[in-house]
Structure 1
Amino acid sequence: MSQFSLFSAETEDPAINDMAGLLAAPGQSLHTPFGARISVVVADRWRAEAICAEIVPTGIEAEVTESEEGSPLARTEANPRLTALHRRWSAGAVKTVPEQWTPSPRSLRLWVLAAGRPEGPHYVLDLDPHAPDTHAPLSTALIRVGIAPTLVGAKGRQPSLRITGRRRQARLLEMIGVPPEDPAAVAEWPSVD
């Protein structure tokens, strides 16, 4: 049985700022007259359900719906409590990474839930292909927490941060905690076996 760090997502209280992990992934924020809303299109329904389950303890309502293309989508309610997060991650209509952003364990967990997957011996965190200026700062943000990734596919359809090596993947796993109980989630979770 593995032992998790005192910094793991399982030991932290949920916070609105943790939803930055969805924005590090291909998630979007939108300002409305009722406050900001955060949404992310994901590959699987279990991902959307797990994301919503992580959001609700922050006091923000979340729901699973479908994108226009029919993919699962997790989204928050429009809420003024999300406006500050939206502003930090936006420069006009463009997504940006706040200077010196360091992902919390819970924000990393949300990033993994939204866009993490094993790829051979590596673990990959997908980035937003529509926000290329966020890729290098997000790589630097992972370095700040002891996970040095490699940017791959920068000019391709799906840019990602590739995490290679047992030590780096163990650090990621230590931070994000155990997977949701769904067997599909277990198969997509980082592993150091």
Structure 2
Amino acid sequence: MGQLSFFSAETEEPAYSDLAGLLAAHGQAVRSDSGTRVSIVVRDRWRAEQIVEEMRASGLDAEVTTSDEGTPLARTAACHELDALHLAWSAGAVKAMPTGWIPSYRALRLWVIASGHSDEGRYQLGLDPHAPDTHAALATALMRVGIAPTLVGTRGHSPALRIAGHRRLVRLHEYVGPPPNAAAVPDWPPADIH
């Protein structure tokens, strides 16, 4: 089988709805009178910088800053363009995945950038420990794109969807494309599994 000449995430135009990938992870959408702000605290500076780059590619004002704990934080400016995303991912005051949501290629890439990491020949996509009702629904959403995960870590502070097996890992890599920079390589879905 020949190598693909392009990756799925590179074939889509950036859209506001791509930021759903951050909400699938542990990102937050907060609504105020001035609009909705999407933000996410990440463990590595490269993640925050890449997320902001993706936010800007969607036409949003965004910045990298630091959380109160001193951790990198990527966030948009508050704007009404993200109000629909906030509404779709909220059930009252609680984060909820929209019924039937299927991650776009770019949303899945943002999810990987925000919370993905290698796990001894497998791959994990982090979930929001404060939104446990989204975990099973997000596993189903990944199945809709042909990547069947296993839900792990639900009793701890690091719930995740674990992806294992050659075919699933290759499919994930095909969806999200190559790592955005050298710093991302150790935590990126591998292109070739042996």
TM-score normalised according to structure 1 size: 0.96
* Stretches of 4+ aligned residues off by more than 6 angstroms: none
Give the corresponding residue for 2:66: 66
CA displacement at 1:5 relative to structure 2: 6.0
- 1:63 is matched by which residue type in structure 2? E
After superposition, the C-alpha distances for 1:56-90 in whole angstroms (9 at most, x for unaligned) are: 01111110001111100000010100000001001
SS state at 2:63 partner: strand
Percent of paired sites with the same residue: 58
Contact 1:139/1:149 (8 A) holds in 2:
yes
SS state at 1:70 partner: coil
Give the corresponding residue for 2:92: 92
CA displacement at 1:184 relative to structure 2: 1.6
CA displacement at 1:3 relative to structure 2: 1.3
After superposition, the C-alpha distances for 1:103-151 in whole angstroms (9 at most, x for unaligned) are: 0000000000000000101100000000000000000000000000000
**Following the alignment from structure 2 to structure 1, what is the Cα–Cα distance between the partners of residues 5 and 114?**
22
Structure 2: gaps (5+ residues): none
SS state at 1:157 partner: coil
SS state at 2:10 partner: coil
Give the corresponding residue for 1:45: 45
Q: 1:189 to 1:81 in 2, by over 3 A?
A: same
Q: 1:99 to 1:4 in 2, by over 3 A?
A: farther
Give the corresponding residue for 1:161: 161
- 1:144 is matched by which residue type in structure 2? R
- 1:2 is matched by which residue type in structure 2? Q
Give the corresponding residue for 2:3: 2
Across the aligned residues of Structure 1 and Structure 2, the Cα RMSD in angstroms comes to 1.2
**Following the alignment from structure 2 to structure 1, what is the Cα–Cα distance between the partners of residues 121 and 58?**
34
Residue 187 (structure 1) aligned with residue 186 (structure 2): yes
Contact 1:4/1:174 (8 A) holds in 2:
no
Give the corresponding residue for 2:116: 116
SS state at 2:9 partner: coil
CA displacement at 1:2 relative to structure 2: 3.4
**Following the alignment from structure 1 to structure 2, what is the Cα–Cα distance between the partners of residues 75 and 123?**
25
Give the corresponding residue for 1:33: 33
**Following the alignment from structure 2 to structure 1, what is the Cα–Cα distance between the partners of residues 3 and 65?**
35
**Following the alignment from structure 2 to structure 1, what is the Cα–Cα distance between the partners of residues 59 and 126?**
27
- 2:3 is matched by which residue type in structure 1? S
Residue 125 (structure 1) aligned with residue 125 (structure 2): yes
SS state at 1:102 partner: coil
Q: 1:62 to 1:26 in 2, by over 3 A?
A: same
**Following the alignment from structure 1 to structure 2, what is the Cα–Cα distance between the partners of residues 164 and 4?**
24
